[in-house]
């Protein structure tokens, strides 16, 4: 896992390149670079797989190709075995080398063989042309910005905004070629809209439960292939609890980390589960008043997010990964993606099946700029690699084949996941209803106080060169009766909240934050009695 930066073209400037790479310093432990005429490439590498030999930028044995790579390919051992049978000789045990060797062997088709979370750039050293690719769900990021005579590429927006030019994103599941200092031509190699087409619908509950259990267990198993301690971000909800249950079984060297206000549901459920499993548990207890403007500003700087609700979630997430860094944990599992796949949101169940599928696909396609962006930035800002087993492509494809009736049943969301793991989930976890992250931590309303400042803070970092802060799409969708087309049009017509809407929101947040103070002022006073001697 790394932060990568490249400057390609005759006007590539070493000073600009150094600044880009310096901005990405938190994403790794060591800085590794290669500088040639018209090619400046570097990584800030977090050493996880083959920690000593997986040096980047990686150059092919014939020195024709150069790779800058961010992420993990979890089937690299299988690919290495296949490539070895085809005559390739390897110099390391790294997945980095497997990615470049696969590209040498299969060209642009190689990306269809990779199972993982990645974004990478392969440069033809003789021509300066660059091949770009990003994983199907967009777990790992890649951005670019074009200047006269130079194309800049980087893992984060903050590394590119100093140029003052518009910033563009490599979309999830896309790949293609970029000319040095010229055009970037990308196309999809995975179409989420058609994923699972032609495969039979799985409508039998028993079969569906078996398939869900097998797919998710395998996805978690692959992400635990490390000799390092593994952390689990634990809210005590269904998804993170499943991640912890599997991790404890398959990789006992683990630790759970939870954030929340004292007495919050997340802290209570997580403490109970960690104790029941005998897993070391770090609880970051934050009182709402502990969240200050400086914390909000830092969360915005780190996360680069563009929706208000996501920014609030980032404020809550940052302390988790800060603590993991303090513990020396470099690999962590999260439960992100399950709600989108398995019907964890009310909107799926308030419309007909066809409209529900469109909403489902819309959320999946936008995860890259919402939950996944939050997880990537908050984790990598502290040198922690977050892995998301619910968003393995095999799990996503299976979810596409499940009817809505298996995702919501008997008034319970994610019913099929609960059914699939009913024999291993404690009853109190299996029956716990879905609760949004920042709300169940007890910290949402405090962060909400600062919402009127989010857009201005976002602009101060130059992030508007990619996208401005905008209204939460979920709130727009709700107001539009869950009509996706109408909500998209409404969002384009009025991107941000009005001053009046911000004022109403602020009043609501202020009332919530003032309530404890008022209770203390008007509550009954305890009279201290003087003992009679």
Q: Which residues are annotated as a binding site?
A: 95, 259
Active site residue 2: yes
CA-to-CA separations, 524 to 472, 513, 519, 521, 527, in angstroms, rounded:
41, 20, 9, 8, 9
Q: Residues 178, 190: contact at Cβ < 8 Å?
A: no
Q: How long is the chain? A: 533
Would you list which residues are annotated within the binding site for L-glutamine? 95
Tokens (6 digits) for 518: 């008022």
Would you list which residues are annotated within the binding site for ATP? 259
Q: Residues 270, 258: contact at Cβ < 8 Å?
A: yes
Q: What per-residue string of b and e applies to 201-239 under the rule 16 or more CB within 10 Å gives b?
A: ebeebeebbebbbebbbebbbbbbebebbbbbbbbbbbb
Q: Which residues contact 43 (CB under 8 A, 6 or more apart)?
A: 2, 3, 4, 5, 28, 31, 32, 33, 56, 57, 68, 69, 70
Nearest-angstrom CA–CA distance, 239 and 455? 31
Tokens (6 digits) for 415: 């019913």
Cβ neighbourhood burial of 434 (10 Å; 0-12, 13-18, 19+): middle
Out of 2, 150, 254, 368, which one is annotated catalytic? 2
Tokens (6 digits) for 91: 């110099």
Q: Residues 143, 124: contact at Cβ < 8 Å?
A: no
Cis ω before 263 (30° cut-off from 0): no
DSSP β-ladder status, 39-45 and 2-8? antiparallel
DSSP H or E stretch at residue 7:
strand 2-8
Identify the CA nearest to 113 among candidates 129, 126, 95.
Answer: 95
Q: Which residues contact 37 (CB under 8 A, 6 or more apart)?
A: none
Catalytic residue positions, numbered: 2
């Amino acid at each position: 896992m790394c932060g990568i930066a490249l400057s390609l073209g005759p006007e590539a400037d070493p000073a600009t390149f150094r600044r880009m790479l310096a901005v990405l310093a938190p994403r790794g432990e060591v800085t590794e670079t290669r500088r040639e005429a018209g090619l400046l490439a570097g990584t800030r590498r977090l050493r996880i797989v083959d920690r000593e030999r997986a040096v980047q930028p990686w150059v092919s044995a014939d020195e024709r190709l150069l790779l800058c790579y961010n992420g993990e390919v979890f089937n690299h051992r299988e690919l290495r075995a296949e490539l070895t049978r085809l005559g390739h000789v390897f110099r390391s045990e790294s997945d980095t080398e497997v990615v470049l060797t696969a590209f040498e062997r299969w060209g642009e088709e190689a990306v269809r063989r990779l199972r993982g979370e990645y974004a990478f750039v392969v440069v033809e050293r003789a021509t300066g042309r660059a091949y770009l690719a990003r994983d199907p769900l967009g777990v790992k990021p890649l951005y670019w910005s074009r200047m006269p005579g130079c194309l800049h590429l980087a893992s984060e927006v903050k590394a590119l905004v100093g140029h003052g030019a518009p910033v563009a994103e490599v979309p999830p599941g896309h790949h293609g070629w970029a000319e040095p200092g010229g055009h970037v031509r990308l196309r999809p190699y995975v179409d989420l809209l058609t994923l699972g087409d032609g495969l039979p619908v799985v409508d039998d509950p028993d079969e569906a439960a078996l398939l869900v259990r097998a797919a998710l267990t395998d996805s978690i198993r692959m992400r635990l292939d490390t000799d390092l301690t593994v952390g689990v971000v634990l809210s005590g909800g269904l998804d993170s609890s499943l991640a912890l249950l599997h991790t404890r079984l398959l990789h006992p060297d683990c630790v759970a980390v939870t954030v929340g206000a004292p007495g919050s549901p997340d802290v209570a459920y997580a403490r109970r589960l960690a104790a029941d499993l005998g897993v070391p548990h770090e609880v970051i207890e934050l009182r709402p008043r502990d969240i200050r403007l400086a914390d909000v500003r830092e969360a915005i700087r780190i996360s680069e997010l563009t929706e208000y609700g996501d920014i609030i979630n980032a404020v809550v997430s940052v302390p988790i990964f800060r603590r993991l860094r303090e513990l020396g944990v470099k690999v962590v599992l999260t439960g992100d993606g399950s709600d989108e796949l398995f019907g964890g949101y009310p909107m799926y169940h308030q419309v007909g099946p066809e409209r529900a599928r469109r909403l489902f696909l819309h959320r999946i396609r936008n995860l890259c700029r919402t939950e996944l962006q939050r997880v990537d930035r908050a984790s990598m800002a502290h040198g922690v690699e977050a892995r998301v087993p619910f968003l393995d492509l095999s799990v996503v494809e299976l979810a596409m084949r499940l009817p809505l009736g298996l995702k919501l049943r008997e008034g319970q969301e994610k019913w099929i996941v609960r059914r699939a793991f009913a024999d291993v989930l404690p009853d109190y976890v299996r029956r716990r209803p879905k609760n949004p992250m920042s709300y169940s931590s007890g910290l949402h309303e405090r962060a909400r106080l600062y919402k009127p400042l989010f857009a201005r803070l976002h602009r101060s970092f130059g992030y508007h060169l990619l996208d401005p802060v905008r209204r939460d799409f979920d709130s727009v969708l709700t107001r539009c009766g869950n009509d996706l087309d109408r909500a998209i049009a409404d969002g384009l017509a009025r991107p941000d909240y009005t001053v009046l809407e911000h004022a109403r929101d602020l009043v609501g947040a202020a009332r919530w934050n003032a309530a404890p103070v008022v209770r203390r002022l008007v509550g009954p006073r305890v009279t201290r009695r003087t003992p009679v001697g």
